[in-house]
Structure 1
Amino acid sequence: MKTLVPILGDQLTMTLSSLRDTDPADAIVLMMEVAEETTYVRHHKQKIAYIFAAMRHHARALADAGWQVDYVRLDDPDNAGSFTGEIARAVERHAPDRIVVTEAGEWRVAAMLDSWETIFGLPVDIRADDRFLCSHAEFDAWASGRKQLVMEFFYRDMRRKTGLLMDGKKPVGDRWNFDKDNRKPAKNDLFMPRPHAFAPDRVTKDVLALVADRFADHPGSLDGFDYAVTAADAERQAAYFLEHALPQFGDYEDAMLTGERHLWHSILSPYINSGLLDPIDLCRRAEAEYRAGRAPLNSVEGYIRQIIGWREYMRGIYWREGPDYVSRNFLDHHRKLPGWYWTGDTDMHCLKEAIGQTLATAHAHHIQRLMVTGNFALLIGADPAEVHRWYLEVYIDAYEWVELPNTLGMSQFGDGGLLGSKPYISSGAYIDRMSDYCGHCRYDVKQRVGKDACPFNALYWDFLARHQDKLGNNPRLRMPYSTWAKQSAQSRNETLSQSAIFLQSLDTAADDGY
């Protein structure tokens, strides 16, 4: 029986479920670079380059392992431009008896897979993606009947399921979560770890030339592209992180420094989300560093929580809530993002740093995303669907199943609190506490009003005032609302006027966006 096995760009795993129990002698592995997947949003140039280069190297690895690989390049003159179109051409070329494919990560692509049996008149075996710890059915069972889907409780169940950082039925250290220990500001350190930089080989250079030619109008730069594009190089970065950065990762995971793009972060999320690295294996290796006394518990627990907690939880939310999740807008926000979200050309140093780094490398760490670019977008009342599209476009690790709940739910509070118990907002004080950004800024983080006042300050209070009808009874916002109420009427009016003037300037700037 001849089997066609399509492998998508985020399925670059040698042990993928669609390959398991399939005889290489009777199978054709189909890999496809298609225009539709590069342009449904304007993906960052480095994101496209990374995925295509990793796909081409993975195709070679599969061929070396004995698989017959049919690889369709973007510049193939007969390329149909879509997954379904390329399946049609492959069916004509190979006349398979069946199609075996691992389930898609996104609703849009899943709908394509579901249609293939009818379109092609062939049996289509869509297999579960068992690279994840929690199946769709398991997450639905966990979520059923709960009024609020609190990640912390889900995470504890995943700890129990895996045994990670467990002493019998109890968590190691008698605490599930050490997040409060992971909020130290950092200082420039000559001994700060530097992630590996991987020089592009001939295959990657060909991809970079293709992307430069085809996607010149997409965000970001290709200059300095140095990501790993093979499983072996991704493993080199993983080993380096575990030895050199994990020990201090926890202390400084929320810190930000001017000119420091990585600090102690792993830079492994692109490789995990595309399939080059096994997330559970990384968690077990991180735990081994703790058990061996080479990394402290707060660092290891914080890292493991990001993977078996947030990552798995976001996937569960995405599939459970369904395609209409993207349209949720609890706070009724409709402002366009300023045009400088695509250029980084702003006087606000924190945003200039986070956006500039993003455009240069297609990467920023989670606090830059949540408490700088995301916080600002929420405070100005940006349309959460537009914010979602921006994050999906610009980050190399952004696939919709993980990016959408993080952005629309956690960052923009668009789901009204399904994910988070309160909006993630702050004035400039938080950014000042966790970074050195404010010391480099033309605005004064200590001022609320006036031409030199940090815009975050007035925007923070204006946000609370605008949404008091929806958020005023939130117990986690009781203190800031009480503080706002105690201010004089004159002070409140000055703050709201300051915010209004700034927002008006943004509406003008947004007209220059893409």
Structure 2
Amino acid sequence: MAGTRTLILVLGDQLTPAISSLAAGDPARDRILMAELHDETTYVRHHKKKIAFLFSAMRHFADELRGLGWRVDYVRLDSPQHRGGFTAQVAHAAGALRPERIAVTQPGEWRVARMMKGWHEQLGVPVDILPDDRFLCSPAAFADWAAGRKQLRMEYFYRDMRRRTGLLMDGDEPAGGRWNFDAENRKPADTDLFMPRPLAVAPDAITREVLALVEGRFGNHFGDLMPFRFAVRRDDAEAAFSAFVDTALARFGDYQDAMLTGEPFLYHAVIAQYLNCGLLDPLRVCRAVEDAYRTGAVPLNAAEGFIRQIIGWREYVRGIYWLRMPGYEHSNALGHTRPLPDFYWTAETEMACVRAAVTQTREHAYAHHIQRLMITGNFALLAGVDPHALHEWYLSVYADAYEWVELPNTAGMSQFADGGLLASKPYAASGAYINRMSDYCRSCRYDVTWRTGPDACPFNALYWNFIARHRELLSRNTRMTPMLRTYDRFSGDERQRIADSAAAFLATL
């Protein structure tokens, strides 16, 4: 259709009616392009549930926009109009519609932003790349905050975000007189606790059509496609969040670090996939959690722990991502090069904790932050796995994973690959931590109380071997001094047994 003023490209993680590209547009004169692109499904081999979730959410959002009066050109993966990638698809639409200009909200990933910067010259059409104002701290504002600081620490950024938003503030002071209640949020869970479940949404006709498409096109990708219970419409995503507030938030703080066999969700919200694709607004959910605290429905440690994850950690890792890209994805300060073990895909391992985390990842495209950090991430760190290989695995297997959020969590928090830019110390732990925070060790064929030998928990020898291998680097980190002193108290024979046990296990990978 000739005469289109602006062609507005809406990406699959921009499913928000008030996003900047749409807020600047005019439904009467502009046209929206949305597309299911083959290149975006295969640059890593995404979990089948992740692909189905995004395609169905995109199709529902296109209908939502049409209901608001927009003209939407929606290109399905199996459409004759499909061109495979962003540049080719936009070029095809621009050739057909001849817009005066193209508008898009800043993408979340650097590789896509790099593509877009070349469109003006390639397409001969002005391209407006507008800020993504769904986030509370722009990349420029984060860079200003980071400038001149000797160390970047999330805690201080988080306090500034609390002041800026007013969340959980009593005047100039934090509610309860403390900024952070994390020390109260490390309780192991008991199997006799009542466990709520995230709201499950039955697939409608649109979703069933997408599920058939994904099974047909991506049947050899990782993960179980069915059962499929994700919300794919805004109202259902909001209902899922409300159900969390009503049934699980009160205990979220206490048990957010706990892990239980057969309980993949515990008291977690399981809404990151909705936040990260735009179905939920981060500030709005934080205000709702604050209201639950102010009205006495939930304790402060639960509300603060949740809000810190959103306005603290989520905003912080995005700031780190844009501050350090490109190049951050290849960080490898520890020089780790081991290939990713096959059991990250198959779950075929005798380590009960790793088997549980990978199995639920395969089934649900979900694992909570401690399972990612202290099970799959911790093992990779101790075993010396190539952090880029682990990064691509995390990006592939989780429904909430986009590079801006996943890469800093992997390279920085989990693998210490950035040398301490993001995390103050390596998040390495022996089997004792896993035993304290979970019941996995009870059913494991390995003995968590043994440090060495063929029946000892592999995390134990690997942990002390990690300390020995990286002694020089770790000696410069005061938080690791107690562990180095403990290792130094081991006898020479014990140190050799640790090295031998670690080598014997790693040889089996």
Name the TM-score, length of structure 2 as normaliser: 0.98
Equivalent position of 1:458 in the other structure: 461
Equivalent position of 2:283 in the other structure: 280
Name the amino acid aligned to 1:454: C
Instruction: For residue 126 of structure 1, give the secondary structure of its aligned residue in structure 2.
Output: strand
Q: Deviations over 1:39-73 (max 9, x none)?
A: 10011111111110100000011011110000000
- Whether 1:192 and 2:195 are equivalent positions in the alignment is yes
Q: Deviations over 1:113-139 (max 9, x none)?
A: 111111111111111000000011110
CA distance in 2, matches of 1:499, 1:145: 41
CA distance in 2, matches of 1:94, 1:190: 58
Contact persistence 2:105–2:132 (CA under 8 A): yes
Equivalent position of 2:122 in the other structure: 119
Alignment of 1:301-450 (within 5 A): 301-450=304-453
Q: Deviations over 1:258-280 (max 9, x none)?
A: 00010000010000000000000
1:102 to 97, 101, 105: 105
- Whether 1:477 and 2:480 are equivalent positions in the alignment is yes
1:22 is displaced (CA, Å) by 1.4
Name the amino acid aligned to 2:170: D
Equivalent position of 2:159 in the other structure: 156
Name the TM-score, length of structure 1 as normaliser: 0.97
Equivalent position of 1:134 in the other structure: 137
Root-mean-square deviation over aligned CA pairs: 0.8
Q: 1:231 to 1:189 in 2, by over 3 A?
A: farther
Equivalent position of 1:510 in the other structure: none
Equivalent position of 1:298 in the other structure: 301
1:21 is displaced (CA, Å) by 3.1
- Whether 1:17 and 2:26 are equivalent positions in the alignment is no
Instruction: For residue 26 of structure 1, give the secondary structure of its aligned residue in structure 2.
Output: coil
CA distance in 2, matches of 1:440, 1:389: 30
Contact persistence 2:414–2:427 (CA under 8 A): yes
CA distance in 2, matches of 1:100, 1:478: 53
Equivalent position of 1:511 in the other structure: none
1:190 is displaced (CA, Å) by 5.7
2:499 to 487, 496, 499: 496
1:20 is displaced (CA, Å) by 0.7
1:367 is displaced (CA, Å) by 0.2
Equivalent position of 1:219 in the other structure: 222
Name the amino acid aligned to 2:152: L
- Whether 1:61 and 2:64 are equivalent positions in the alignment is yes
CA distance in 2, matches of 1:9, 1:148: 35
Q: Deviations over 1:235-264 (max 9, x none)?
A: 010100111111000000000000001000
CA distance in 2, matches of 1:491, 1:91: 69
Equivalent position of 1:512 in the other structure: none
1:216 is displaced (CA, Å) by 1.7
CA distance in 2, matches of 1:188, 1:276: 33
CA distance in 2, matches of 1:189, 1:244: 16
Equivalent position of 1:51 in the other structure: 54
Name the amino acid aligned to 1:245: A
Name the amino acid aligned to 1:124: V
Q: Deviations over 1:78-116 (max 9, x none)?
A: 311001111111112211111111011011000111111
CA distance in 2, matches of 1:21, 1:451: 64
Instruction: Give the number of aligned pairs.
Output: 506
Instruction: For residue 92 of structure 2, give the secondary structure of its aligned residue in structure 1.
Output: helix
Name the amino acid aligned to 1:100: A
Q: Percent identity?
A: 59
Alignment of 1:253-272 (within 5 A): 253-272=256-275
CA distance in 1, matches of 2:20, 2:377: 36
Name the amino acid aligned to 2:167: L
CA distance in 1, matches of 2:460, 2:139: 41
Gaps of 5+ in 1: 507-514
CA distance in 1, matches of 2:163, 2:192: 37
Name the amino acid aligned to 1:160: R
CA distance in 1, matches of 2:379, 2:393: 13
Gaps of 5+ in 2: none
- Whether 1:7 and 2:10 are equivalent positions in the alignment is yes
CA distance in 2, matches of 1:248, 1:228: 23
CA distance in 2, matches of 1:408, 1:415: 6
CA distance in 2, matches of 1:234, 1:134: 24
Name the amino acid aligned to 1:362: A
Q: Deviations over 1:200-247 (max 9, x none)?
A: 111111111111111122111102111000101000101001111110
Deviates more, 1:452-461 or 1:86-95: 86-95
Instruction: For residue 377 of structure 1, give the secondary structure of its aligned residue in structure 2.
Output: helix
